[in-house]
Chain A
Amino acid sequence: DGGITQSPKYLFRKEGQNVTLSCEQNLNHDAMYWYRQDPGQGLRLIYYSQIVNDFQKGDIAEGYSVSREKKESFPLTVTSAQKNPTAFYLCASSLGGAGRANEQFFGPGTRLTVL
């Protein structure tokens, strides 16, 4: 089965702790993305990566970090510097490449709650 997976589905964190959200895809996509969604809101781009070992900040990168050591994986770390991290986090992937019709495929999401 080809697709994009995220784990865990639910995550609880104490204030002051870093936490890493997993995102894996077996679609052979070059591009991967992380979004944050707050209740009743749209998606805001945190980070994106067009190719292995390269990534760019999105609109709300402060307090987050990413790595792209493998094509299949794009983990997101929510650091203690993120002041309001409770949200629904969505990972997506696409073929990538300038000028292409880049449909995004989304994972099921991780709901992070800070206690």
Chain B
Amino acid sequence: SQQGEEDPQALSIQEGENATMNCSYKTSINNLQWYRQNSGRGLVHLILIRSNEREKHSGRLRVTLDTSKKSSSLLITASRAADTASYFCATDDNYGQNFVFGPGTRLSVLP
């Protein structure tokens, strides 16, 4: 059963702008993670936020988590053409198992 749902499905911005992607989920979670996938490649882990955390930063990435709304957002600041990729959120259950990925947001950063 699909749990994470990203929004928007696709996003196109100019280099230097910020990109915001959202993720919603349905049931209680242990952690929420964001991954990046370049076309035709495996996924790369970006950042993990635990269910008892509200915000986390890593370089140009900022992730927020609102467990009352069952939603998370990923902000990429000062985007670059190299940020062009698909971004997925993933949740695991309270046992740290059974990961569920959303359908992803396709980000295009135009030079």
A8 to B15, CA, bound (A): 36
A25 within 8 Å of B (CB atoms): no
B15-42 interface code vs A (CB 8 A; 1 in, 0 out): 0000000000000001101010000111
A63 within 8 Å of B (CB atoms): no
Say yes or no: B2 contacts A42, CB within 8 Å.
Answer: yes
Residues on B with beta carbons closer than 8 Å to the beta carbon of A42: 2, 4, 88, 101-104
A41 within 8 Å of B (CB atoms): yes
A39-71 interface code vs B (CB 8 A; 1 in, 0 out): 011111100101000000011000000000000
Say yes or no: B42 contacts A102, CB within 8 Å.
Answer: no
Interface range on chain B: under 10, 10 to 19, 20 to 34, or 35 or more? 20 to 34
Say yes or no: A45 contacts B43, CB within 8 Å.
Answer: no
A29 to B88, CA, bound (A): 22
| Option from A44, A50, A103, A108 in Cβ contact (under 8 Å) with B41 | A108
Say yes or no: A59 contacts B48, CB within 8 Å.
Answer: no
Say yes or no: B45 contacts A103, CB within 8 Å.
Answer: yes
Residues of chain B having any CB pair with chain A under 8 Å: 1-2, 4, 30-31, 33, 35, 40-45, 48, 50, 88, 90, 92, 95-104, 106
Residues of chain A having any CB pair with chain B under 8 Å: 31, 33, 35, 40-45, 48, 50, 58-59, 88, 90, 92, 96-109, 111
